[in-house]
Structure 1
């Protein structure tokens, strides 16, 4: 009697396991089950804020007020805003200049770190420090270095006889923008260097040896052997760097706050100032969304180019 009862109890369990096994034998159902947690997280933390931002940009919502539908009025308003046009120019100029310098310096460092020398592991770890230190903390240190009164840079240049007085690094519009770019380059070079170093280590030394036997000089070996093989990795690194730089906020906000006289505002800092500083949520959302078409176009062009390079 007990054996019969036990068998009767185990039968539904075995049937449930069988149905579950049969359910996951279908690859499409298994793929959906595995992707569902990721899709849920992306929907909650990316898709929903994006849709909410689009809806806000089409209303005249303020802090504490839901607002009414105004269509594209916010986009027309910011287009006629001189500070917004300055922020657009600053964002493109900031991204272009820093990307070029980070790529050049990162590639140079990667080539040096790819050589064999004593303490190589320690130097590679040390190079990552600017990228590891929290952005706000390192930017505060740079803000002190750029201070006109206590600046270690001014003191060093004065002792070397390069300047005769104080330089107000963050008080002059041109110098402030240059200072922001310098800090961004300093922080971004390690990311390029380590990523490109990983790409260099995938290139077989036999290719360089064969090129050297054929009489190719070091620069020719780099240009005709190393660079073509490193190009796919480089394009991926540049893609991520452009996205991060284009939407940069912390560095500029801590260093200058968009000043002096709104001269260093980027998309993100100006959107924050309008949305949070003045409470105009709808206009801030419109400024934030203004960068989306540009980023989307940049990503599409670079992905097409990466695919073209890989198919070669």
Structure 2
């Protein structure tokens, strides 16, 4: 009778079966505990974000008196108004321009702060974060005084050099510039602190290797710094784009959408129609139009991040 030969690998695999199953059960229990621990936060997000969004969608389908269902009638009405398309154009130009300048200034300031000795760096970080820490409404009031047509500190300074006065908030082009300027001043420190944290995670050995290969300052930034910071840059840009697109307080305090609606954004025009104009469904329809634009931007940015992650 032939002897049965038991392979060592089969014995080892048989021993690993209960171990793998127990590990699987343990992971399942941990995921359940993790879900239960995050459940309060999920409920809070649903209460503060999902419910208002769903209610806004419901309001957008009603008439002005909120007594009759009109379907897409509010959107059809908006599409026929020139002011609506002007607001769409202004919102896109405002958001894209402000985010580009915030990212550029934040990147430059982050590099300058990164090269400061560590003992002095904490003090400079604190001072550079002041515009972002101060409530935007409060700092915008200070800028409003600087732009004042009669007692503008900017016009007084320019007058010393024989320039001006400039109608900062009275002419459409200058009003748009002023709103973007204040938004950049408020938001650039956020980019700075995010980029500074990312710069500190870049290994110094990469810069040393690039220097040995003869790379200059610009080549080290282009081939070492930017590739290592791409994900942080993309995520920060997406977050800032969402916040900038929905900006309300800066534009509302500085210009209230004027002159002649030339600085209105989605949020301010929605407030004008819904709260001041008494047409809440129409105002809700304007605010909802931000969602598809931001969704398209988020899809492109997140898809790019996911693509680079798969390549890595």
Same fold (TM over 0.5): yes
The 1:216–1:148 alpha-carbon spacing in structure 2 relative to 1, beyond 3 Å, is same
Contact 1:145 1:151 in 2 (8 A): yes
Map residues 33-48 of structure 1 onto 2, 5 A cutoff. Answer: 33-48=36-51
The 1:292–1:25 alpha-carbon spacing in structure 2 relative to 1, beyond 3 Å, is closer
User: Who is 1:19 aligned against?
Assistant: none
The structure 1 segments of at least 4 consecutive aligned residues displaced by more than 4 Å after TM superposition are none
User: Who is 2:308 aligned against?
Assistant: 309
Structure 2 portions without partners, runs of 5+:
1-26
Q: Residue 103 of structure 2: SS of its match in structure 1?
A: helix
Map residues 6-17 of structure 1 onto 2, 5 A cutoff. Answer: none
Alpha-carbon distance in structure 1 between the residues aligned to 2:217 and 2:30: 51
Matched, 1:190 2:193: no
Deviation (angstroms), 1:152: 0.5
Matched, 1:290 2:293: no
Deviation (angstroms), 1:61: 4.1
Alpha-carbon distance in structure 2 between the residues aligned to 1:180 and 1:116: 32
User: Who is 2:113 aligned against?
Assistant: 113
Deviation (angstroms), 1:28: 5.0
Alignment TM-score, normalising by the size of structure 1: 0.88
Deviation (angstroms), 1:67: 1.7
Deviation (angstroms), 1:310: 2.8
Matched, 1:54 2:57: yes
Deviation (angstroms), 1:286: 0.5
The 1:25–1:243 alpha-carbon spacing in structure 2 relative to 1, beyond 3 Å, is closer
User: Who is 1:18 aligned against?
Assistant: none
Contact 1:74 1:282 in 2 (8 A): yes
Alpha-carbon distance in structure 2 between the residues aligned to 1:26 and 1:186: 48
Deviation (angstroms), 1:25: 8.0
Alpha-carbon distance in structure 2 between the residues aligned to 1:224 and 1:268: 40
Map residues 236-275 of structure 1 onto 2, 5 A cutoff. Answer: 236-275=235-274
Q: Residue 150 of structure 1: SS of its match in structure 2?
A: coil
Q: Residue 183 of structure 1: SS of its match in structure 2?
A: helix
Matched, 1:157 2:158: yes
User: Who is 2:15 aligned against?
Assistant: none
Alpha-carbon distance in structure 2 between the residues aligned to 1:183 and 1:155: 19
User: Who is 2:140 aligned against?
Assistant: 139
Deviation (angstroms), 1:105: 0.8
Alpha-carbon distance in structure 1 between the residues aligned to 2:31 and 2:121: 47
Alpha-carbon distance in structure 1 between the residues aligned to 2:116 and 2:51: 49
Number of residues paired by the alignment?
285
Map residues 168-179 of structure 1 onto 2, 5 A cutoff. Answer: 168-179=167-178
Matched, 1:229 2:233: no
Alignment TM-score, normalising by the size of structure 2: 0.88
Deviation (angstroms), 1:107: 0.5
Q: Residue 102 of structure 2: SS of its match in structure 1?
A: helix
Alpha-carbon distance in structure 2 between the residues aligned to 1:161 and 1:73: 54
Alpha-carbon distance in structure 2 between the residues aligned to 1:156 and 1:119: 32
- Taking only aligned residues, the RMSD between alpha carbons, in angstroms, comes to 1.7
Alpha-carbon distance in structure 1 between the residues aligned to 2:28 and 2:208: 50
User: Who is 2:97 aligned against?
Assistant: 97
The 1:202–1:29 alpha-carbon spacing in structure 2 relative to 1, beyond 3 Å, is closer
Deviation (angstroms), 1:116: 3.0
User: Who is 1:84 aligned against?
Assistant: 84
Q: Residue 261 of structure 1: SS of its match in structure 2?
A: coil
